[in-house]
Structures are given as structure tokens and as C-alpha cells.
């Protein structure tokens, strides 16, 4: 977290490069550990290239201009597909095995689009505050769900996908996201409204969907953690799965607020 906040403080270039490194690590974890493919095969470098090249061009090229709406709504479409996978694909399906064999480069798209959406926040003068609020909503959900689930959790949320998550944890996490997001928004951006309070709660729940999607992928591939890079926490993907899913929704909300 210290590294993250330092990069945000230092400026857009440092944050962009940090996110690039995180993206490369996430793709490595999913490709090699979750999909169990070889790091030295050509497809691995193709997959990394599909993420790295467009990400660098998008953030540093002066000649390429892509309308922000294209970036936002393409990422939204991908998230809708992921939600369809979460809710409508059977846990015993061989879909992930098919992805592993034929289209592993889809991993790059799943990381690239959310990261490009976060880059869209740079166009706002208060981009640091907006990113901070997004992180509060995201990690407020994680922390709140853990605390309320541990203290009060009795009813399982979706045992087949994630046995430890509870309905009480989901409600508590959404409440934390709403409170933290609202307080930060009121301090850094502007007046808060009942509409925004409810919206921050919904954004927190959406971030939990990102965690459930990852849990389902790991359950279908018999993997516990994306990696052992962070002792006690798993890998980078285990920490950022919910943020990847949340970011397009948050950026669309900010776009509507300022439009």
C-alpha cells in the first residue's frame, strides 16, 4: 500500500508504470499458475504483448486518440460477459479448460481494459482523489466483508463458488464501502447525496462480484491461490481481482457525474 500511495503521489507516469508491472504479474499468475501453461512458450509472450503494447501506446502516445466512451463501454461489455460466466456457467463446466487450450490471450484483455479505464481518471484535475475513493470503496468492501463475515456470518453467500463468504459479510462490506466512499467523496469532491450513498454501496457489491469470478475460475482449475508472491495473501491477482472488475463501473459513474 505504501508503494501504491507513493506512486499516486508522484504522478501519472509512476502510477501508470506501477499498474503495468501489476498487470504483467497478474497475467503471469493466471497464465502459469491458474491455467497451468508454460511461461517459456510463444503464446505466453504473445499474451503479455497484447497487454503491454496497447497499454503503453494508450498512455504515452501523442498520436493515438481513442474516445473515452469506447474504452469505458468495451470494458463494461467484458464485465457483462464475466457476469454471465459467473451466474450462468455451471461450476462443472469445461469452459476454463477450453480457454486454457485455445484462447489464453483473453487474460490480457481482462487486465488491459480495466487498467485503461483507470487511466481515464487522469483527465480530471482531482484524479488522485478519485483513485483514492475507488480504492476505499474496493478495499472497504474486502475489509468489511471479512470483519462482518467473521463476527456475524452464518448464512453462506454462494458455497459452491466461495465457501467462506457469507451474506452478512456482503451486507457489512457494502455498508463499509458506502460509508468510506461517501465520506471521502464529500471531503475531496463535493456534496454527497442519498443517490451517491446507495451507488457506492452497489459499487462495493460489484467489486465482490470480481472476487467471486476469480474464485469460480480457481475452483474450476483446482487452484487455491494465484501465486505465493504475497505471504498470507496469495498473489497479485488475489489482491486486485475485485479492483479489476470494479474500475469500469466506477469510471462510468465519474464520467456521468462530471458530464
pTM of the complete model: 0.94
Ranges of beta strands (E only) in 170-237 are none
d(CA 177, CA 143): 9
Average pLDDT over all residues of the chain: 94
89-113: buried (b, 16+ CB within 10 Å) or exposed (e) per residue?
Answer: eeeeeeebeebbeeebbebbbbbbb
pLDDT class of 229 with cuts at 50, 70, 90: confident
pLDDT class of 113 with cuts at 50, 70, 90: very high
Q: Which grid coordinates belong to 186?
A: 464529500
* Cβ(47)–Cβ(38) below 8 Å: no
Helices assigned H by DSSP within 61-121: 68-88, 95-102, 106-120
Whether the per-residue pLDDT at 3 is higher than 90: the answer is no
Amino acid at each position: 500500500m505504501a508503494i501504491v500511495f507513493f506512486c499516486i503521489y508522484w504522478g501519472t507516469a509512476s502510477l501508470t508504470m506501477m499498474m503495468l508491472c501489476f498487470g504483467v504479474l497478474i497475467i503471469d499468475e493466471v497464465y502459469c499458475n491458474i491455467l497451468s501453461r508454460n511461461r517459456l512458450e510463444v503464446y505466453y509472450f504473445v499474451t503479455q504483448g497484447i497487454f503491454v503494447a496497447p497499454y503503453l501506446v494508450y498512455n504515452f502516445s501523442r498520436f493515438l486518440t481513442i474516445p473515452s466512451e469506447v474504452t469505458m463501454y468495451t470494458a463494461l461489455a467484458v464485465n457483462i460477459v464475466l457476469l454471465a460466466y459467473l451466474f450462468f456457467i455451471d461450476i462443472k463446466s469445461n469452459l476454463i479448460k477450453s480457454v486454457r487450450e485455445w484462447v489464453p490471450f483473453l487474460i490480457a484483455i481482462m487486465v488491459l481494459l480495466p487498467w485503461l479505464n483507470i487511466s481515464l481518471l487522469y483527465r480530471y484535475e482531482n484524479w488522485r482523489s478519485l483513485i483514492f475513493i475507488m480504492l476505499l470503496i474496493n478495499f472497504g468492501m474486502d475489509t468489511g466483508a471479512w470483519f462482518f463475515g467473521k463476527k456475524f456470518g452464518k448464512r453462506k453467500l454462494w458455497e459452491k463458488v466461495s465457501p467462506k463468504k457469507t451474506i452478512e459479510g456482503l451486507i457489512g462490506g457494502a455498508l463499509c464501502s458506502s460509508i468510506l466512499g461517501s465520506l471521502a467523496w464529500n471531503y475531496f469532491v463535493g456534496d454527497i447525496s442519498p443517490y451517491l450513498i446507495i451507488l457506492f454501496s452497489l459499487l462495493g457489491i460489484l467489486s465482490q462480484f470480481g472476487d467471486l469470478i476469480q474464485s469460480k475460475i480457481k475452483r474450476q482449475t483446482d487452484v487455491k491461490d494465484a501465486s505465493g508472491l504475497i505471504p498470507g495473501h496469495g498473489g497479485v491477482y488475489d489482491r486486485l481481482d475485485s479492483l479489476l472488475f470494479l474500475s469500469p463501473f466506477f469510471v462510468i459513474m465519474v464520467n456521468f457525474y462530471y458530464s
